[in-house]
Amino acid sequence: MGNYVIGIDLGGTNLKAGLVDKGGKITHRLSIKTNYNADPQAISNQIFELIYEIIKEAHVKKSDIIGVGLGSPGLIDKKGETIIFSPNLPRWRNIPIKLLVTERFNAPCVLENDANAAAWGEKWVGAGKDVSSLVMLTLGTGIGGGIVIGNKLWRGANNVAAEIGHMIIQMDGPKCSCGNNGCIEAYASATAMVRRFKELLKSGVSSSLKDSREITAKIINDAAFQGDKASLDVIEETGRYLGIALVNIMHILNPEMIVLTGGMIGSGELLMNPIRQVTKQKAFEASYKDTKIVFSQLGNDAGIIGAAGCLLKELEISV
Establish if 178 lies at the interface with Zn ion (CB under 5 A). yes
H runs (alpha helix) in the chain = 40-57, 97-105, 114-125, 185-188, 190-202, 217-225, 229-253, 269-282, 285-288, 302-314
Q: Kindly tell me which of 176 and 200 has the beta carbon lying closer to Zn ion.
A: 176
CB of 146 to Zn ion, least distance (A): 17
Residues 6+ apart with CB under 8 A from 171: 181, 182
CB of 185 to Zn ion, least distance (A): 5
Establish if 98 lies at the interface with Zn ion (CB under 5 A). no
CB of 140 to Zn ion, least distance (A): 14
CB of 176 to Zn ion, least distance (A): 3
CB 66 within 8 A of CB 57: no
Q: Kindly tell me which of 163 and 233 has the beta carbon lying closer to Zn ion.
A: 163
Establish if 271 lies at the interface with Zn ion (CB under 5 A). no
Q: Kindly tell me which of 9 and 185 has the beta carbon lying closer to Zn ion.
A: 185
Stretch that binds Zn ion, among 60-68, 149-157, 172-180, 230-238 (CB under 5 A): 172-180
Of positions 166, 196, 240, 313, contacts Zn ion by CB under 5 A: 166
Establish if 144 lies at the interface with Zn ion (CB under 5 A). no
Establish if 245 lies at the interface with Zn ion (CB under 5 A). no
- Residue 267 vs residues 27, 220, 224, 232, 314: alpha-carbon distances, Å: 30, 9, 9, 10, 36
Stretch that binds Zn ion, among 58-66, 142-150, 173-181, 203-211 (CB under 5 A): 173-181
Element (DSSP H or E) covering residue 209: none
Spatial distance between the Cα atoms of 205 and 214, rounded to a whole number of angstroms: 17
What residues numbered 182-221 form the site for Zn ion, per CB under 5 A?
183
Q: What angle do CA 198, 203, 204 make, to 5 degrees?
A: 100
Element (DSSP H or E) covering residue 139: strand 134-139
Residue whose C-alpha is closest to residue 68's, from 9, 28, 133 = 9
CA atoms within 13 A on the CB side of 57: 15
CB of 192 to Zn ion, least distance (A): 11
Residues 6+ apart with CB under 8 A from 253: 133, 135, 147, 149
Of positions 65, 118, 148, 176, contacts Zn ion by CB under 5 A: 176
CB of 108 to Zn ion, least distance (A): 34
Q: What residues make contact with Zn ion under the rule CB under 5 A?
A: 166, 176, 178, 180, 183
